[in-house]
Amino acid sequence: MRTFNYLLFILFLGLFSCASTKEKSSKDITIHWKQRTNDVNEKNESFAELTIKNVGKQNLEKGDWELYFNNKPCTNLNVDLAGNDVDIEKINGDFFKITPKKSFKGLATGDSIIVPLYTNSAVIKYTDRAQGFYFVFNKNNKKDFYTPSYSYSDLEPEMAKISETDTYVVETKEIRYENNSKLSEIELKTADKIIPSPFKVTEGKSSIDITTLKQIEASAKATRQAKLLQSYFKDATGVELEIVPKASESAIRLTINKVNSSEEAYVLNINEKNIEILGQEKGLVYGIQTLRGLLPIKGESNKIKTAKILDQPRFEYRGFMFDVARNFQTKETIKNLLDVMSFYKMNTLHFHLTDDEGWRIELKKFPELTEIGSIRKHPTSEYSTLPSYGSGAEGIENVSNGYYTVEDYIEILRYADERNVTIIPEVDLPGHARIAINAMKFRAENLRKVEGDEEADKYLLHDPNDKSEYSSVQGFNDNTICPCQESSYNFIDDLIGEFKSIYAQAGVPLETMHLGGDEVAHGVWEKSPLCQEFMKENGIKSINELKGFYAVKLAEIAKSNQIKLQLWDDILHHAEGMSPENLTLNAWDNSWGTGTEDFGYKRANEGYDVILTSVSSLYFDMAYTKEVNEPGFYWGDYNDTRNIFNYLPTNFFEVSHKLRLGGELTVEEMKDKERLTAKGLSHIKGIQGALWSETLKTPQDAEYLLYPKMMALAERAWSQSLVKKGDKEKEIFKNLDQQWNVFANAVGQREFNRLASWGRHFRIPPVGVEIEGNVVKVNVAYPGLQIRYASVKDTLDSDSKVFTSPMNIDGPIQIAAFDQYGNHGRVQIISLNKEII
C-alpha cells in the first residue's frame, strides 16, 4: 500500500476529519489556526492565532454559542490572555471552551476575530496544532451542534526551534546526503537477510529451489506450527504444502527437540533437497519465521542458499507496548501488528487498554466501563468521557470510539499465542483512572435506587469529599483513585478476576498483568477526609508512605490471584516499602541530561526485575526527526530508526548521547552514573518499545511510526550484544556503523518490499540531496530503494525516471525514494535556488 507523503496526507486528513456539516446547517463559519512563534514571553509560552470567520449569510450573534476544541496534548493554555472578544475556559485534560464576552459585537458576513492562544510549551509540528473544533448553539433549551470548516497555515522550517537556547540541528536534505554517503550497497548473504541477526550462520555453496518442496513433515505435537508454516509458505509462493506425519517427497521437516537451555532456540538446516527445523514448540515458530524471511520477495529467485543456522535470543522478554486507550485500533490492526512482531521474533505485547481518555476492553462484571469509556463525544453528564485529541462532538468511529468485546479479545489472544506472543493487559491505576472512577460513580448512582448503599458503594474509587487540587501530566484534575477505602481494592481484585476469566476462555493462561502506577500527580489525596482518617488510623505519616501502602497492597492482590505484577517504575520514585518479589518494572524515564538516566539500572541493582523501556530510544511516538512535517512527540527525544539501532541496553554510559535541545552528554560527564552490577545484569529481563497514541488517527498513522523502527528494536532485543568488555566509544560506534550498513541494506533491498507485500504502511525516508553548481546528487538512507524523479509539471510515480547518477538540472524537479511496489517517501521539490518542499 502506498506510503504517502506525510505532509499531503495530514492536509487531507485535516480536511476530511474536520469537514463542515453544511447540509445540516445554514451556518458557514471557518476556523484557521496559524502558529506564530515559540518562547514568546517570560513564561516561555508559544503563540498561535485562531481566526474565526463568518463566511455565511447569517450573523454570528453576541451570545448563545460556545466553541469547543482540543489544544496540544499535555499542555495548558494561558486563559488570561484570550483577548478582548472571548473567554477561554479549561474543562479538563486537553479540552477547552471558548465563549463570547459581553464586549463581543457579533460577526456579520465577512467579519472575523482573532483569538490568541498562548500555550505553555513549544509548538513545532503539525501534530501539535489545536484541533477538534465544534460549536454548540443554545436556543430554546436545545443544543445545535455545528462543525466548522478548519484549516491551518504551513509551519516554516525555522519554527522547529523550541527556544533561544535550542541548538539541536534540524535535519535537512544536505545533512541526509552526508549521512547517507556513509552507506554502501552490498550483496546480502544469508546471515544479512535475517532480521534480527541470528546467533550463528554457516552458509553453504549450493542452493535449494523452493518450488520443489511438496510437503511439511510434522508430528501431531507440531501440528499448530506446521499449519502456521503452511500458511506462510502459501502467502509467499502461492503453493500450499501438504502436512504429513512422514514425508515421501521433498519436504520441510519440523522436529520438536531441545536445542539448548532456551526454549526459544532453534536450528534451521537448509539442504539441497529438504529443509529441517529443530527446536521446542516456541523455537520451531522462530525457525519458521527465519525460513519465511529467506523465501523470495518480489523479483527474487526461487532458489535460496543452503545453510545451517543456530539461533537463540539475547533477552527472554522482547516487548512492545501499544496504547489503544488514547486512540483506538481495530482487532484487524492488532492482528497485523502481532504477525509482524512474531516475524521479527518479538514475544510480548504490553496492551495498554485503559487511560483517562478511553476504556477499550469489555468486562462483563463492569459494563459501565465501556458504556462510559469507549465513546468520546460532547459531554452530556458528569460521567462522560471528554472528546480529547480532536474527537469532536460525535467522536470518530474506530479512532476515539471503539472497544474489544470479550469475543474480540479472545480471538486476539489465540492469534497471538499461535505466534509465540504473550499479551500482558494493562489497566492503568491509581492515576490515569478517570474513566474507571466515573464509571463506578455511574454504577453506584444506578444501583443505589434499587440495591441500596452497600452494593452501590462496593466498587467506588473516589472519596466524594476529597478537595485535593492537582493536575496530571495530561491535564486532568480528577483521575486518581482513592487508596484509603476497601472498595478500591475490591475493584482491583475483581478486575483481575475478569481478565483471568477471559484468558481462561481463550485457553491462554494469564501469567502477568500490568497495573500502571505511573505519573501520579503531586497533590493527590492531601485534602481527602477519608485519607486523613485512614493515615491516622494506620500510622501513615506522609503521602509518599500512603503511595507505598497502595503499592504493597497491589502486590498482595496480585499474589492472591496467582499472577505476576508489572508496573511502570516511577511508582517507586515516591512510594516506600515495596518488595521486588513477584514484581517487574518498566524503566522508562532515562531522558538524557535530566539526571534520571540510571534509574533503571538502580532498580535492577536493588533486585527488581526490569524491562528497559527507555523514552530516549524506545518510544516510537517520538518523531523520527525534528522537521516540522514529521509527526509525533519530542518531549523525550527525536527517535529515528538509527537511534533505536544504536541502543545499548546494558551499556548506556559507554557512548555519548545527543541532548534534545542540542549538544551532547559525554562519556566523561556520565562517569558517576550507576552501572549495572552482576546482580543487576541478571535482573535486566529485556527491552520494550512503546507507541502512545495521542497523535494517531488511523492505522496508517500507527504503522508510519512502527516501521521500520520495529526492526531495529527486534535487533537489539534478540541479537547478541555488540559491546565487548573493555570496548571504548570509538570502537563501539565503528561496530555500530558496520552493522548498520548491513541492516540498512536488508531493509532497503528486502524488508520494505516484504511489508508492502503484506499490505503494511511504513516510513520511507526522504532522499538526501547535494547541489554543486547545476549538478544534483541524490542518495537514500536504505540502499536498494530506487530514486525516481519527474518535472514539477508531471506526476511522480513508479513509472517515472530512475535517478542513477549525478545530473544537471535547468529547472525544478520532484524526487523521492521508491520501493518495488510503488510506495515512496516524502516528495521533495528541488531547484537550483532552494528546496521548495
pTM above 0.85, yes or no: yes
Confidence of residue 837 (pLDDT cuts 50, 70, 90): low
Compute the distance between CA of residue 91 and CA of residue 285 in angstroms, rounded to an integer.
50
Q: For Cα atoms 403, 448, 454, give the angle at the middle one, nearest 5 degrees.
A: 100
For 507-542, where are the alpha helices, taking DSSP H only? 529-538
Beta strand pairing status for 583-587 and 609-612?
Answer: parallel
To the nearest whole number, what is the mean pLDDT of the chain? 94
| pLDDT on residue 2 | 41
Contact 751, 679 (CB under 8 A): no
Which residues partner with 202 through β-bridges? 308
- From 12-26, 140-154, 217-231, 504-518, the region with the lowest mean pLDDT: 12-26
Q: Return the C-alpha cell found at 203.
A: 552458509
Contact 204, 266 (CB under 8 A): no
Confidence of residue 4 (pLDDT cuts 50, 70, 90): very low
For 295-405, where are the alpha helices, taking DSSP H only? 331-343, 368-373
| pLDDT on residue 575 | 79
- Nearest in space to 614 (alpha carbons), one of 629, 595, 599: 599
Q: What's the average model confidence in pLDDT over 448-460?
A: 89
- Exposed (0-12), middle (13-18) or buried (19+): which is 561, by Cβ within 10 Å? middle
Which residues partner with 203 through β-bridges? 307
Question: Which pLDDT tens digit goes with each residue over 678-723?
Answer: 999 999 999 999 999 999 999 999 999 999 999 999 999 999 999 9
Contact 604, 684 (CB under 8 A): yes
Contact 623, 698 (CB under 8 A): no
Q: Return the C-alpha cell found at 2.
A: 502506498
Neighbours of 108 (CB within 10 A): 11
Which residues partner with 68 through β-bridges? 97, 134
Question: Which pLDDT tens digit goes with each residue over 94-121?
Answer: 999 999 999 999 999 999 999 999 999 9
Confidence of residue 21 (pLDDT cuts 50, 70, 90): very low
CB neighbour list of residue 26: distance below 8 Å, 6 or more residues apart: 56, 57, 58
Compute the distance between CA of residue 298 and CA of residue 822 in angstroms, rounded to an integer.
12
Question: Which pLDDT tens digit goes with each residue over 114-146?
Answer: 999 999 999 999 999 999 999 999 888 888 999
| pLDDT on residue 141 | 83
| pLDDT on residue 35 | 96
Neighbours of 655 (CB within 10 A): 21
Is the pLDDT reported for residue 209 higher than 90?
yes
Compute the distance between CA of residue 620 and CA of residue 716 in angstroms, rounded to an integer.
15
Beta strand pairing status for 512-516 and 564-568?
Answer: parallel
Q: At what angle do helices 709-718 and 729-746 cross, to 10 degrees?
A: 120
Compute the distance between CA of residue 659 and CA of residue 640 in angstroms, rounded to an integer.
14
Q: At what angle do helices 543-560 and 529-538 cross, to 10 degrees?
A: 80
> Phi and psi of 557, rounded to 5°?
-65, -40
Confidence of residue 834 (pLDDT cuts 50, 70, 90): low
Task: Tell me how far CA of residue 236 lies from CA of 448, 754, 757, in angstroms.
Answer: 59, 10, 9
Question: Which pLDDT tens digit goes with each residue over 527-558?
Answer: 999 999 999 999 999 999 999 999 999 999 99
Question: Which pLDDT tens digit goes with each residue over 562-599?
Answer: 999 999 999 988 777 889 999 999 999 999 999 999 99
Confidence of residue 453 (pLDDT cuts 50, 70, 90): confident
Please report how many Cα atoms fall inside a 13 Å half-sphere around the Cα of residue 166, on the Cβ side.
19
Question: To the nearest 10°, the Cα dihedral for 763, 766, 768, 774?
Answer: 160
| pLDDT on residue 26 | 55
- Exposed (0-12), middle (13-18) or buried (19+): which is 818, by Cβ within 10 Å? buried
Compute the distance between CA of residue 27 and CA of residue 25 in angstroms, rounded to an integer.
5
CB neighbour list of residue 821: distance below 8 Å, 6 or more residues apart: 298, 753, 756, 757, 798
| pLDDT on residue 12 | 35
Q: Please state the separation of Cα 718 from the chain's center in Å.
A: 20
Is the pLDDT reported for residue 772 higher than 60?
yes
Which residues partner with 49 through β-bridges? 34, 116
Contact 401, 378 (CB under 8 A): no
Site of grid cell 440495591: 451
Contact 168, 593 (CB under 8 A): no
Compute the distance between CA of residue 796 and CA of residue 383 in angstroms, rounded to an integer.
51
Q: For Cα atoms 639, 120, 19, give the angle at the middle one, nearest 5 degrees.
A: 75
Contact 424, 566 (CB under 8 A): yes
Compute the distance between CA of residue 498 and CA of residue 828 in angstroms, rounded to an integer.
52
DSSP string, 617-629: HHBTTB-SSS-TT
Is the pLDDT reported for residue 250 higher than 60?
yes
Q: At what angle do helices 699-706 and 709-718 cross, to 10 degrees?
A: 50
CB neighbour list of residue 24: distance below 8 Å, 6 or more residues apart: 146
Question: Which pLDDT tens digit goes with each residue over 165-207?
Answer: 999 999 999 999 999 999 999 999 999 999 999 999 999 999 9
Please report how many Cα atoms fall inside a 13 Å half-sphere around the Cα of residue 805, on the Cβ side.
0
Question: Which pLDDT tens digit goes with each residue over 432-450?
Answer: 999 999 999 999 999 998 8
Neighbours of 471 (CB within 10 A): 16
Which residues partner with 35 through β-bridges? 48
Contact 791, 201 (CB under 8 A): no
- Dihedral sign for Cα 225, 227, 230, 232, please: negative
| pLDDT on residue 108 | 94
Compute the distance between CA of residue 331 and CA of residue 337 in angstroms, rounded to an integer.
10
Task: Give the end-to-end CA distance of the chain in Å, rounded to a whole number.
Answer: 23
**Max CA separation in the chain (angstroms):** 89
Neighbours of 582 (CB within 10 A): 15
- Dihedral sign for Cα 80, 81, 82, 85, please: positive
Compute the distance between CA of residue 667 and CA of residue 767 in angstroms, rounded to an integer.
32
In total, the chain counts a number of residues equal to 837
